[in-house]
Amino acid sequence: MIREILMAFEITGDTIELEITIAAPTAREYRIKVLCGEDGSNGFTISSGQASKTLTVGYVNPPFELKKGEDLTLRVFIDKSMIEVFANDRQAVVAWHEYEPNDLHVSLFSKGGDVTVKKVTAWKMKPIRYSKSIRPKPTVPKKKAVGRHSDPIHFKPTLPKKKTVGDVMPFFWKGEYHVFYLTNPMGNHDVNWEHCSSVDLVNWKEYPPALKPDHKDPTGPEGGCMFTGCIVEKDGTFYAWYTSWNPKNPKGREFLSLATSTLHVTIT
């Protein structure tokens, strides 16, 4: 029977930043739990092992492998149920965890060997809205001052009045900067991926929408909003990952979607 060892840290809270360095782990399995009970129960688990080629972060399993003799440094940002984990500055994961009000502790487990903790640092995070010292003071522009965002280095897309822009998604390809962004030309339940490009970040060219809802199928997964995602290119094909959102879809409100194109201007 392999013994499991528990180490509890004197760290509590649900808005904290942690930095934990473990000396070249040799244990078959080691786990760090955050937002757990004082006895290590419940909680959100970050785990790996000596021969493992993945880092388990809650329900996410990204590839990660330590080099021989390499220490493991985890930086963990806990903001209530939102948890961000950075491993040796080469792997990053964001996950969500629902927790009980009293589960505010941090623990370390090892199985099949010992682990040596070289460093543990914790910082309490404070909401910006409570900090008066860093709140900017209102300023009154001079009469001859340039209007807000009207100078040449700010791009302002052509939009109908009272429509919004959000969630910028940049993409650089063959010396040209492409920017995809969200707009709601017909209201909050109709969101497009707009597209513009520039070679110098000063002069911009606007294109027709790269992604837009399928109005011919108003109850389908693509009938509502094309939400945030990212663009990658491989072997001449462009891949756009995004969230399709439609509360009218009887099969579900949200789906992870993929669109492809051999042209970088329009993606279908």
Binning pLDDT at 50, 70 and 90, where does residue 248 land? confident
Break the chain into its structural domains and give their ranges. 4-124, 165-261
Q: Which residue has the tokens 């302002």?
A: 156
This prediction has a pTM of 0.50
pLDDT at residue number 165? 82
Name the pLDDT band for 142 (thresholds 50, 70, 90).
low
Q: In what order do the strands lie in the sheet with 254-261?
A: 225-234, 237-245, 254-261
Residue pair 120/20 in contact by the 8 Å Cβ criterion: yes
- Report pLDDT digits (tens) over 48-76: 998 899 999 999 999 999 999 999 999 99
Residue 221 contacts residue 255 (beta carbons within 8 Å)? yes
Question: Is it the case that residue 153 has pLDDT exceeding 80?
Answer: no
CA dihedral 218, 219, 223, 226 (to 10 degrees): 150
Backbone phi, psi, residue 31, to 5°: -140, 135
Q: Taking residues 178-184, what's their average pLDDT?
A: 88
Q: What is the pLDDT of residue 223?
A: 84
* pLDDT score of 127: 63
Which helix (H) or strand (E) segment is 195 a member of? strand 192-198
Mean pLDDT lowest among 1-15, 81-95, 115-129: 1-15
Multiple choice CATH, 4-124, 3.30.70.20, 2.60.120.560, 1.10.1420.10, 1.10.10.10: 2.60.120.560
Residue 187: per-residue pLDDT:
61
**In the predicted model, is pLDDT for residue 34 greater than 90?**
yes
Residue count (the chain)? 268
The overall longest dimension of the chain from CA atoms, in Å, is 78
